[in-house]
Structure 1
């Protein structure tokens, strides 16, 4: 099959082989995004002045965490991997990413409790930043396992019914389901780690997370679809009849 393959009308459910340098790069990027996001998430962030609430939900200030800047990329990568390489490849990426996140958390724990050098003056600062990483990783692990598995499962199940057409619908639906579950679980576990101490602020944290992450993914969805199309054209095994689901 050539670069001009009629992707839009192909009715076979296809996936590429994981034995590809493209998959290796995506897997590495996926793991790095998770590790960096978990570290950045230890910082709570507020936007906006004042103190405005609507019922049980705090409207202002808007509350989020440092991981929000990078974490949506994990779902974008999850969509790309699930669509091009299938559910097993997505599962491998999830497990690999969180193995690396747990390794980072364990390393921070050991370093935090190792005796500081006599001339080292930043122990308290190090503990303030690295100390909550373990809880953030736990929150991220539980939330993302649930959310990303739902995301991948919904996407591949929809693809099983539609094959190549309706990619936008698959990406949009799977993202919405996955982000909702992921964000609620993450916020419920990580809230106290970043200093959230009221239900009003918690609901702000949760709603902002869902709306922001989903909005980012919808905004970049044309780029996501372009990357998916590019990978499908450059993965010979994607068009190999032996890899048809």
Structure 2
């Protein structure tokens, strides 16, 4: 009520020749680390989905097979080095801020990906200038096919939600103990779902045309992302500990952790 009366008072004094208050009115930005983490989380998702349109192979001079599994060459996509960061950030959000806040971040990321795809589509269809000679290259690089869009959105949405739910449910049982179990357990569940969904939809769009390549694509992607989680766990531990110490609202809650 006080704020409303102050605004009304401001309106009453407009045109009087005197300022109704000392300075212009602005809303305050929420303090804390949640916003920059969500910004980095969203940027990682957008960049990863662009890089993932490129098929990548390592050890192409070798051919090693084990039954239906193609061991070498290793087939993956161009986002293999960056995408694990999205799950690491998702773990940090879930551990410190809970499921509801992480779900909000996932929605932000989903919306940002849709906006990115829409903007790319419009930019491709805009008439090229007579002096612009890279229209086809531009279309090739950012002209994500509907197949890859569906793969990225579906894999990300399901995988990230499962990752967050799993971590929060494990934390409800372990409280502040066994952080490693929450980080690894949630990553296994989330990454497995994400990798299966994305690879199943996107494989043919990036040039994978055999069952052996597909199995290799799934296994390599899943193992790599899980290995990244393990390798950077000391850093994740430090980041989480710092955030818990510096966020004044971090405290036990009395209600269901999935709805708090």
Scaled by the length of structure 2, the TM-score of the pair is 0.83
- Deviation by residue 1:87-120 (Cα, 9 ceiling, x = unmatched): 0011011110111111111111111122211121
Q: How far did residue 148 of structure 1 move? A: 1.1
Instruction: Give 2:123's aligned residue.
Output: 111
Instruction: Give 1:179's aligned residue.
Output: 191
Q: How far did residue 133 of structure 1 move? A: 5.4
Counterpart mapping for 1:54-203 below 5 A: 54-132=66-144, 134-203=146-215
Scaled by the length of structure 1, the TM-score of the pair is 0.88
SS of residue paired to 2:250: helix
CA RMSD of aligned residues (A): 1.8
Question: How far, CA to CA, are the matches of 1:108 and 1:182 in structure 2?
Answer: 24
Q: How far did residue 181 of structure 1 move? A: 0.8
Instruction: Give 2:37's aligned residue.
Output: 26
Matched, 1:41 2:83: no
Point out the structure with max Rg over C-alpha: 2
- Label 1:62 to 1:216 Cα distance change in 2 as closer, same or farther (>3 A): same
Q: How far did residue 239 of structure 1 move? A: 3.5
8 Å contact from structure 1 (residues 147, 179) kept in 2: yes
8 Å contact from structure 1 (residues 237, 243) kept in 2: no
Question: How far, CA to CA, are the matches of 1:20 and 1:243 in structure 2?
Answer: 24
Which 5+ residue runs of structure 1 have no aligned equivalent?
1-18
SS of residue paired to 2:70: strand
Question: How far, CA to CA, are the matches of 1:34 and 1:133 in structure 2?
Answer: 17
- Deviation by residue 1:146-190 (Cα, 9 ceiling, x = unmatched): 111111111111111121111111111111111111101011111
Q: How far did residue 121 of structure 1 move? A: 1.2
Higher RCO structure (Cα 8 Å, ≥6 apart): 1
Q: How far did residue 46 of structure 1 move? A: 0.6
Instruction: Give 1:50's aligned residue.
Output: 62
Q: How far did residue 79 of structure 1 move? A: 0.2
8 Å contact from structure 1 (residues 79, 152) kept in 2: yes
Question: How far, CA to CA, are the matches of 1:133 and 1:73 in structure 2?
Answer: 24
Which 5+ residue runs of structure 2 have no aligned equivalent?
1-29
- Label 1:242 to 1:173 Cα distance change in 2 as closer, same or farther (>3 A): closer
Q: How far did residue 25 of structure 1 move? A: 0.4
